[in-house]
Amino acid sequence: MISRFAQGLGRILGRSGPPQDEGEGGSISAWLRVACLAALAMFVTVPIDAASIRGVEIVGDSITLRFDGPVERASVFTLDGPRRIAIDIVGAHAGSGGKAGGYVAAVRQAQFNPDTARVVLDLNGPALVRNGGFSTDGRSLVIEVAGATEAAFARSIDAKRKAFLPPVAVRAAAPKRADRSAVRVPLERAGSSNGPPLPPVTGAKGTGRPLVVIDAGHGGHDPGSMATDGRKEKDAALAIALAIRDALVDSGRVKVAMTRDRDRFLVLGERREIARRLGADLFISVHADSAPNSAARGATIYTLSEVASDRVAAAVAARENRADVLNGVNLGGENEDVSSILFDLAQRETMNISADFATLLQREMAAKVPFKNEYHRFAGLIVLKAPDVPSVLLETGYISNEEDAKLLFSKSYQRDVAEGVRRAIELHFARRLASN
């Protein structure tokens, strides 16, 4: 049920005001608050004499936005499920609508926050922005779109926004705005010690015991995929993650920490950073898969690679990586193209250990847990990108399949998964100890 969540995002995309708390019971984690503020800090101006969007015209592949005064800047990005191109204009008030044409099935406008108008173009096929720019008087922004392959469109979801600035003279003439720097909250730097509080470590006592971080996927406003009866991936993931923790604690051979032990939202990078800051020796992210084909069943293990092993893996990466996007704002700040990251030697070593663990994990789980034939896949999953912590993402079955969904929510299957994971973890560390 990829699209249900995505459509939910779509519905709230055009809502005015800053990103709202979609979390349960109105409780929003401090981290999400910081992330939201940091995202908002991109828009640090207050409109005094903001320009208005006077019209959106589409002629062929060319989309023209007209303003009745100078605006500050614009940026363009793509969203999936349904496919959209969004244009944020800082220093502008939203107008209303616009006439569809070409690749654009519908035009919507809304005030994204007090400073920023958002124009959303609903696409009738995969299309991408190829080019664009402001006119010399700064009163119009022209954007050229062109048809794209499904794969290229999917890749664009995680790409950086394309930014457009009006000519310098026009910007200088734009009305001065008050600085709202009080809300500037810098995002935590990777590896810094002053992040959100770290979760408690349980399990084996004493020094020298390896630490495993168990990550229950999704949570809070992000339900993940959904079963036909409405049950949510985030709940299955949490129940299975807790079962794994309990199995490891009972066995007492390793230390354990959870990225979340209740229904709350964490951005993907934060999950990974918890493992890094704790100095974890292994990171396991627990999820449940979904597919348009309701007959698809079985578990899969993902490890990180520069390129996805196949289209299914690429689609899973796109879906799981989208967890960071709320109201069209990338809370995780993970804009870089995964494929363009330079994987250094340390990361390659980590990737090899992760892949070895994936093999062991399948072997130890397989007696009780049905796997897909191609059980080990590779993809550019944000949550797995710690360069120094071997990491796997375990799709424990298809929540979109009725039989698998029954298993995922059953205590006995959760225990079977947990026992298999525990055995694999303990063997993994025993092997590493022996080889050192």
Please report, as ranges, the residues that interact with Zn ion according to CB under 5 A.
217, 224, 287, 320
Least Cβ distance, residue 220 to Zn ion (angstroms): 13
Min dist. Cβ of residue 392 to Zn ion (A) = 14
Alpha carbon 177 to its chain's center: 32
Minimum CB distance to Zn ion smaller for 45 or for 259:
259
Reduce the DSSP state of residue 300 to 3 states and report it.
strand
User: Closest distance between Zn ion and the C-beta of residue 286, in Å?
Assistant: 9
Question: What minimum distance in Å lies between the beta carbon of 181 and Zn ion?
Answer: 37
Q: How far is the CB of 321 from Zn ion (least distance, A)?
A: 10
Bridge partners (DSSP) of residue 309 are none
Residue number with CB closer to Zn ion (362 or 396)? 396
Beta carbon of residue 233, minimum distance to Zn ion (angstroms, whole number)? 5
Amino acid at 281: D
What are the beta bridge partners of residue 122?
Answer: 84, 106
Per the listing, tokens 């990180």 go with 304
Q: Where are the beta strands (DSSP E) in 290-342?
A: 299-304, 325-326, 329-330
For Zn ion, the closer CB: 289 or 416: 289
Name the closest residue to Zn ion (Cβ).
287
The first and second tokens of residue 218, run together, are 């999704």
Of 232 and 287, which has the nearer Cβ to Zn ion?
287
Q: Where are the alpha helices (DSSP H) in 136-267?
A: 150-156, 168-173, 233-251
Determine contact, residues 351/389, Cβ cutoff 8 Å.
Answer: no
In contact, 89 and 113? CB cutoff 8 Å: no
Q: In terms of C-beta density within 10 A (0-12 exposed, 13-18 middle, 19 or more buried), how is residue 12 classed? A: middle
- Measured from the CB atom, the residue of 202 and 309 that comes closer to Zn ion is 309
CB closer to Zn ion out of 5 and 134: 5
